[in-house]
């Protein structure tokens, strides 16, 4: 729908509004986002993962710290996120840098994961070569035997990142490709400068 309401000055509040509408309309994983990283020499890569937390500090996701994305973030902390909700004809672009979540935050989220997902975090050498699927299945079986109950500790190589935004762009589809684009850029004082972009 056209953006006819007064401009929301807090991009996090606007994000929460759009996410709530996406949760009501998207058939699967409204919290899915593309995470784009790059090597120090600028070679980009992107993948879709799930947002697991958002507050005034930033956007949180979790991963294997031995993965390609983690290696790239260790060398270049700049990151971009993209949320695209086709059912709403909307997208949000976010650019910023990452900071690691605390061990307590990672422990708390890890404990909420299904048992097999927690075991999988131990079994998977994420982003590294796998000779055959059977190897992964055997490793999973080994950890199932090692941790037969629900008490499964978080692997030391599994944690999360918080994306600290420097900018947001809220994009709303409009007729004849005359789209509405609202941008927020973080000021030095921590506030936000708002504006519009040509479609």
Domain residue extents for the chain: 11-113+155-197
| Helices vs. strands in the chain: H and E counts, helices first | 5, 9
**Of 47, 162, 177, 186, catalytic:** 177
pTM of the model: 0.92
Q: How far is CA 168 from the centre of its chain?
A: 14
CA atoms within 13 A of residue 170's CA, in its CB half-sphere: 23
Q: Which pLDDT tens digit goes with each residue over 49-87?
A: 999 999 999 999 999 999 999 999 999 999 999 999 999
**98, two tokens:** 């990452």
Quickly name the fold that domain 11-113+155-197 has. Answer: Pnp Oxidase; Chain A (2.30.110)
Q: Residue 83, Cβ neighbours under 10 Å: how many?
A: 22
Q: Which pLDDT tens digit goes with each residue over 143-199?
A: 999 999 999 999 999 999 999 999 999 999 999 999 999 999 999 999 999 999 999
DSSP E strands, the chain:
32-38, 44-50, 53-55, 58-64, 78-85, 90-100, 158-172, 180-186, 192-197
Backbone angles phi, psi at 168, to 5 degrees: -130, 150
Asked about 139 being catalytic, the answer comes back as no
């Amino acid at each position: 729908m056209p953006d006819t309401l007064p401009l929301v000055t807090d991009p996090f509040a606007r994000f929460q509004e759009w996410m709530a509408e996406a949760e009501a309309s998207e058939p699967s994983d409204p919290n899915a986002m593309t995470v784009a990283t790059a090597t120090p020499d600028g070679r980009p890569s992107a993948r879709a993962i799930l947002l697991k937390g958002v507050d005034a500090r930033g956007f949180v996701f979790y991963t294997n710290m031995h993965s390609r994305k983690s290696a790239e973030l260790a060398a270049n902390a700049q990151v971009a996120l993209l949320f695209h909700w086709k059912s709403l004809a909307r997208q949000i672009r976010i650019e910023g840098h990452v900071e690691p979540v605390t061990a307590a935050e990672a422990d708390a989220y890890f404990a909420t994961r299904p048992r097999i997902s927690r075991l999988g975090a131990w079994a998977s050498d994420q982003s590294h070569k796998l000779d055959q699927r059977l190897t992964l299945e055997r490793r999973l079986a080994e950890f199932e035997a090692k941790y037969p109950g629900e008490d499964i500790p978080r692997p030391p190589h599994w944690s999360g990142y918080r994306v600290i935004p420097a900018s947001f762009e809220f994009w709303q589809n409009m007729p004849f490709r005359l789209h509405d684009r609202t941008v927020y850029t973080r000021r030095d004082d921590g506030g936000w400068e708002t504006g519009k972009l040509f479609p």
